Amino acid sequence: MTLETVATNRSHGGTQGVYRHASTATCTPMEFSVFVPDHAPGTHLPVVWYLSGLTCTQANVTEKGEFRAACAEHGLIFVAPDTSPRGDGVPDDPEGAYDFGLGAGFYLDATRAPFDRHYRMKTYLEDELPGVIAKHFPADMARQSIMGHSMGGHGALTFGLRNPGRFRAVSAFSPIVAPSQVPWGEKAFSGYLGDDRTAWGEHDACAMIEAGARVDEILVDQGTADGFLAEQLKPELLADACAKAGIDLTLRMQEGYDHSYFFISSFMADHLAWHAKRLKA
């Protein structure tokens, strides 16, 4: 497995890198970023996965997320993958819309042609990329957690619910909590998975909880001035599902904040401190 270093920079007493490899899951080159704080030789550090939202690559959080100081303080490796496969021959939305295709992989394995060959983000993130991280970085893979924003918040919730033994903490910023019930998710799921809503439920946090999936606790921050709040995000559905299931959900409605990285960066350190406490327990 060959790993290409695209760029590295010193920052906050650590190394911020961007890397590229040939993915067998997506059959494309894939890029991701990793921040590794300085550490004693032989030390292995806990890993926080961050899943980005619609239209993003790993660059958005890497450049605007303001996570490095907190990761250096708590001794956390921060991994940010891309949101979808890219490259020649990778199909996109035929109308060029932002909410499907490139930049909008929705962290699932597509089953509908022509997307089923490349759009395999579930397999990539659950199986392939963790192996790359374990091989090439000083990562303690027994201590992992996951977080994300918007579409990536959807991914963090579903990956956490599907793998409660792997991720010690799950949090999200402005997550799509019930994609089967909102326009973004309905478009993506029908395009990637077809019309069988039973298959959709396997990638819908609220439906997963209703079907019995469990984690001990979830942290969510949501801005009250988020333009997508009422139509696409609907955090009240997650609150209701968690209450019925006995999951400890901390849902913080942050007054005046929107959907942007101005919001995410404002509460990133809080989330990382929350993750660090659980990763070091």
Catalytic residue among 109, 204, 221, 226: 226
CATH number of the structural domain 3-280:
3.40.50.1820
Catalytic residue among 74, 259, 271, 275: 259
226 is catalytic: yes
Looking at residue 211, what is its pLDDT? 98
259 is catalytic: yes
E-strand ranges in the chain read: 4-11, 14-22, 29-37, 45-51, 77-81, 139-149, 167-173, 217-223, 248-254
Catalytic residue among 150, 171, 174, 271: 150
Looking at residue 281, what is its pLDDT? 84
Please say whether the beta carbons of 28 and 48 come within 8 A: no
Residue 41, classified by CB atoms within 10 Å of its CB into exposed (0-12), middle (13-18) or buried (19+), is: exposed
Looking at residue 84, what is its pLDDT? 98
- Domain boundaries in the chain? 3-280
Copy the structure tokens of residue 210. 């209703």
Looking at residue 74, what is its pLDDT? 98
pLDDT along the chain (281 residues), means of 10: 94 98 98 98 98 98 98 98 96 96 98 98 98 98 98 98 98 98 98 96 98 98 98 98 98 98 98 98 84
Looking at residue 107, what is its pLDDT? 98
